Structure 1
Amino acid sequence: MRFVLASASPARLTVLRNAGVEPVVRVSGVDEDAVAAALTDPAPADLVTALAVAKAEAVAADERDAVVVGCDSMLLTPDGSVEGKPGAVEVARERWARMAGRTGTLLTGHAVLRVAGGEVVDRATDHEATVVRFGTPTADELEAYLASGEPLGVAGAFTLDGRGGWFVDGIDGDPSSVIGISLPLTRRLLGRIGVRVSDIW
């Protein structure tokens, strides 16, 4: 069965490969800001799920027979703001200043589409929420982390499976979701569209 990952994320690809899946990678090219702007005051979970759906649908439009998975992650902070990729050192530094020693919730939206004959014939969507307990890096550690470039292109300005893992004291929930794609949730969503996880191994 053709299994398509609608994401450029190397972390998501690694999670799937380590779990026995070799997906076809196709980047959606979706304008995430435009998708978000078209929503009317969405709840954070609805936002990440809508973005995941948009990515999966964009890729599915060019498939004939496949299962397409789209994901999107953002960090929900204690003050209720939702943060994606910081994109700039100054933004990442400010986010770490606010989150060090505190907890946030990493939300990852998932969309699984089944395509047959060039049409989407079934779909399942949901999100996963995982509490992240942030450590407090020293000023020198934080500057070195920022200089690595890693936190600039990831939701919440941190990783669990890279350099950022040094500064995460713990999580409550699914670690694969924090990395970018929840294996347990994806398995349940596949089941809802009639696909066993063993079908894609």
Structure 2
Amino acid sequence: MFYLASASPRRRELLTQIGVQFKLAPVDIDETPQPGEDAKRYVERLALEKAQTALASLNDPEEAVVLGSDTSVIIDNQIRTKPHSAADAKRMLQQLSGNRHQVFTAVAVISQQQQKVISVATDVVFRTLSETEIDAYIATGEPMDKAGSYGIQGKGAILVDHIHGSYSNVVGLPLTETAALLTEFSIKVWSEDQQG
């Protein structure tokens, strides 16, 4: 059985989009960056820890394959996770306004026999935002559970001028790379029967 170690509705939607059957096994881990940890190492560590934690919690770990994933926004060499408050979200959006940043997503797929971790980076360029726009966007509530305080697949789409790279990576799961990884673990994509 294949499990998704995430409560993210976006990751559920993306896996469903490519016809992957899965069960949910969300986990809660400490997502604090370690001292001196760069973005790639950070998201890869968290993705793997999520998958390992979920696998250890299952009743049938011998038969299970688990996917863990983590997404972070990087600007000025700083890791930007989910905002802690509206004020924090505002600071992040002001920093992103008119600037280029990177979105890193790591995907870890593990079983008791093997584990693979990959990460993908996408460049995102924001248009210049007014303070009124930033406040109005925060008032929608959408930024509060998103890395970097925005969701490209939602209302935040109008904040983005353009991207270079994988769109689904910015949403939270790079589908091309994820599908290839799942195939290595004999997890089918484009399956006719879906479940979530």
TM over 0.5: yes
Please state if 1:107 is matched with 2:99: no
User: Gapped runs of 5+ residues in structure 2?
Assistant: none
Work out the CA distance in 2 between the residues paired with 1:188 and 1:73. Answer: 19
Q: Which residue of 2 aligns with 1:117?
A: none
Write the mapping of 1:1-201 to structure 2, written as runs, cut at 5 A.
2-33=1-32, 36-37=33-34, 41-63=36-58, 64=60, 65-77=63-75, 79-114=76-111, 120-197=112-189
Letter in 2 for 1:185: E
Moved more, 178-187 or 44-53: 178-187
Higher RCO (C-alpha 8 Å, min separation 6):
2
RMSD (CA atoms): 1.8
With normalisation by structure 1, the TM-score equals: 0.87
- What is the TM-score normalised by the length of structure 2? 0.89
Unaligned runs of 5+ in 1: 115-119
**Structure 1 pair 194–24 and aligned structure 2 pair: CA distance change class (3 A):** closer
> What is the number of equivalent residue pairs in this alignment?
190
Aligned partner letter, 2:140: S
The percent of aligned pairs where both chains have the same amino acid is: 32
User: What letter corresponds to residue 56 of structure 1 in structure 2?
Assistant: A
Which amino acid letter does the alignment assign opposite residue 132 of structure 2? D
Post-superposition CA distance 1:154-201 (Å, at most 9, x none): 111111100111111111111111111111111222244454535796
CA distance in 1, matches of 2:82, 2:57: 27
> Does the 8 A contact of 1:124 with 1:193 survive in 2?
no
